[in-house]
Structure 1
Amino acid sequence: MLQARGLFGRNARVCGIRTSWTTIGDGEFFCPGCGGDRNYRHRTGRRRFTLLGVPLLGRGAAGPVVECAACRTRFGPEALDQPTTARFSAMLKDAVHTVALAVLVSGGTSSRAVRRTAVHTVRAAGLADCTEDQLTSLIEALAADTGRYVADTTPYGAALAIELHEALEPLAPHLAPAGRESIVLQGARIALADGPYTQAEREVLATVGVALRLSEDATARLLETARTPS
């Protein structure tokens, strides 16, 4: 940028590029700069060449950007892909709840040990009001909702796979490997509460591993780890 010395000896900007911003949306996001949930403004800009502070020629578009209302840092639109703390917590609760239901459906609910382990797991994930009756009622509703399922040799198999992928796939990119493995281990311990894995339970847990972006070997290792008393 060119500068000239004014009448009083101060530097005055002769020419440069100025960006004028327009807000096209707002909301709440997880700010990478602040490290927490903050309000944001979704903005686009227009660059203009200025002479003595007067905008003259357009120099193209700027952005779009996501601007934190707290720290004023601007990020690319991909910053909105990171869920807020509240949204992440809800996704994690839903994931554990769905895995617990899937394991119960595949292995049955006749065992009190299995039901109690499932309830403990779901409560530990943050759903403190979960009860055995709630879980069994949901499973009964699942069985009655026959219009949703494709007939196959495994009861509810197609539906379970869909439910697991819908609950786990959006969460997987935001979990560290240890977090993804923890969900598989929780499901495995529910399955083992009444004895060795059944084939149906193994298939459900394999689907959990796939949805969480774990390799077959990694999932198999976790199933064996769960068998070892802690």
Structure 2
Amino acid sequence: MQRVWGVRTTWRTVGDGEFFCPECGGDRNYRRRTGRRRVAVFGLPLIPRGAAGPVVECSACHGRFGTELLDHPTTIRFSAMLRDAVHTVALAVLAAGGAGDRTVREAAVSTVRGAGFEDCTGEQLLALVEALAADTGRLPGRFDGRAEGCADGCAEHGAAGGAVLAIELHEALEPLAPHLAPAGREGILLQGARIALADGPYSPAEHAALATVGRALGIGLEDTQRLLAAAARTPS
């Protein structure tokens, strides 16, 4: 009977691109496909049975997945998002008052280089901080547009350009947070904390900047305060 009749799906490609394939465990090309189901008799598709898909089909393993998988960044994109996140957190700490201390600058450079910006220098970071202090708009080379208030009430940094930096933090961290495990989100916050603590206890502005980092990463206020307090008690 199975040889006499069955349901056959005819697939049609409607798009393509690159995605992270969970079956292959890496970045692969994909085809976005839709299909039509038909009852086949003696191998001939005759009676329509409705639509199939859309699905994402891996060009390597030919596995088919739901299109929600395209919401996850590729490995390359994820790495770039992570580098940008650490870079922006380091700038937030420097802009909150740490730029004037050599040990803080060195800690920031070391952290940013460790995140993947191997050519980062203290002069480059200071130039960006000065642009923020002058309230010239978005970070040079990162975003275009004008400064505006933060909907989450993050303009408590006090220094000129603080509201702009709060926007930068949310734009760099919020898209990344859903793709990080809790330990990963906490790790980014703690990297900022170690930069701030390089010259001693947090200043009020540094603490406020790190609180904004925690909020942008989706870490609760109590957990943020707990992590910052634990970092301050840990010997460097």
TM-score, L = length of structure 2: 0.88
Q: 1:140 aligns with which of 125, 130, 133?
A: 130
- Residue 67 of structure 1: how far off its partner (Å): 0.7
**Cα distance, 1:83 vs. partner?**
1.2
Residue matched to 1:122: 112
Counterpart-to-counterpart distance in 2, 1:206 and 1:142: 19
How far did 1:144 drift? 3.2
1:210 maps onto 2:208 in alignment: no
Q: How do 1:1-80 residues align onto structure 2 when only pairs under 5 Å count?
A: 2-3=1-2, 13-80=3-70
Structure 2 CA distance for aligned equivalents of residues 41 and 145 of structure 1: 45
Query: Which consecutive unaligned segments of at least 5 residues does structure 1 have?
Result: 4-12
The reply to whether residue 196 of structure 1 matches residue 186 of structure 2 is: no
Deviations 1:48-80 (A, max 9, x none): 121212221211110010111111110000111
Structure 1 residues 90-143: Cα deviation after superposition (integer angstroms, max 9, x where no partner): 010000000000111112411011100000000011110000000011112223
Indicate whether 1:219 and 2:224 are aligned.
Answer: yes
2:166 paired residue number: 161
Give the equivalent residue in structure 1 for 2:82.
92
Q: Secondary structure at the match of 2:51?
A: strand
Measured in 1, the distance between the counterparts of 2:19 and 2:179 equals 14
> Within 1, Cα distance between the matches of 2:12 and 2:41?
22
**Helix, strand or coil: the match of 1:33?**
coil
Deviation, 1:145, is 4.3
Report SS of the residue matched to 2:99.
coil
Aligned to 2:235: 229
Matched, 1:149 2:163: no
Query: Contact (CA 8 Å) 1:107, 1:191: kept in 2 or not?
Result: no
Unaligned runs of 5+ in 2: 138-145, 150-154
SS in 2 for 1:193: helix
Q: Give, in whole Å, the separation in 2 of the partners of 1:91 and 1:201.
A: 23
Structure index of larger Rg: 1
1:7: which partner in 2?
A: none
1:102 alignment partner in structure 2: 92
What amino acid does structure 2 have at the position aligned with 1:164? Answer: L
What is the TM-score normalised by the length of structure 1? 0.90
92-101 or 198-207, which moves further after superposition? Answer: 198-207
Task: In structure 2, give the amino acid aligned to 1:34.
Answer: C
SS in structure 2 at match of 1:48: strand
Q: Secondary structure at the match of 2:54?
A: strand
For 1:47 and 1:190, the matched residues in 2 are separated by 59
Q: After the TM superposition, which segments of 4 or more aligned residues of structure 1 sit over 6 Å from their partners?
A: none
Structure 2 counterpart SS, 1:197: coil
Aligned length: 220
Mapped to 2, the partners of 1:127 and 1:59 lie a distance apart of 54
RMSD: 1.6
1:8 corresponds to? none
